[in-house]
Amino acid sequence: MRRTDREITNRIEIDAILQEALVCRLAFAMQDEPYLVPVSFGYDGERLYFHTAKTGRKLDFIQANPRVCFEVERDVDLVPHPAEACKWTVSFESAIGYGTISEIVTPEDKSRAFNLIMSHYSDRDWDIPSGRMADTRVWCLRVESVTGKRSKQKAS
């Protein structure tokens, strides 16, 4: 990381960013074509979970190359400067990582993973009948590496 003064090295702090972020962006690559997509997600401390429809562009990219980059952020605030345009900035905390995606296939495991996604946003457990997951594909992204970054400026 170029700006080591902004680097977050404490995994507990990085995990807090992952647990509090609202959107995860997944960056896929297939041959020479990139594809970036925001997803709702859940996080268990080692893996990210997300769901898709039965077909779609994400699935084409996953099939071609299950290795992805992901990004999340929290506490994003615009920090304007009253007089100088080049002194405007953004305050944030972010995590960027790499991992490999695999599909979760058993109805019970799909329900458990989908519950992790729902509890990420609602702070509660849900009873998700495994039969309800028939039209949904659920995915696990095993986090292989992750780094964190923090802007030190805060809005006044």
47-52 and 67-79 strand pairing: unpaired
Q: What is the pLDDT of residues 64-98, one digit of tens each?
A: 999 999 999 998 888 898 999 998 988 899 999 99
In a domain, 112, yes or no: yes
Q: What is the pLDDT of residues 112-142, one digit of tens each?
A: 999 999 999 998 888 877 677 778 899 999 9
Q: Residue 1 — very low, low, confident or very high, per pLDDT cuts 50/70/90? A: low
In a domain, 127, yes or no: yes
Total domains, the chain: 1
Q: What is the pLDDT of residues 18-61, one digit of tens each?
A: 999 999 999 999 999 999 999 999 999 999 999 999 999 999 99
Structural domain that includes position 108: 4-147
In a domain, 156, yes or no: no
Q: What is the CATH number of the domain that holds 123?
A: 2.30.110.10
In a domain, 129, yes or no: yes
Residue 155 in this model has a pLDDT that exceeds 50: no
Cβ-based neighbour number of residue 77 at 10 Å: 13
In a domain, 123, yes or no: yes
- Interatomic CA distance for residues 53 and 51, integer angstroms: 7
In a domain, 155, yes or no: no
In a domain, 110, yes or no: yes
The pTM for the full model equals 0.89
Residue 17 in this model has a pLDDT that exceeds 90: yes
In a domain, 73, yes or no: yes
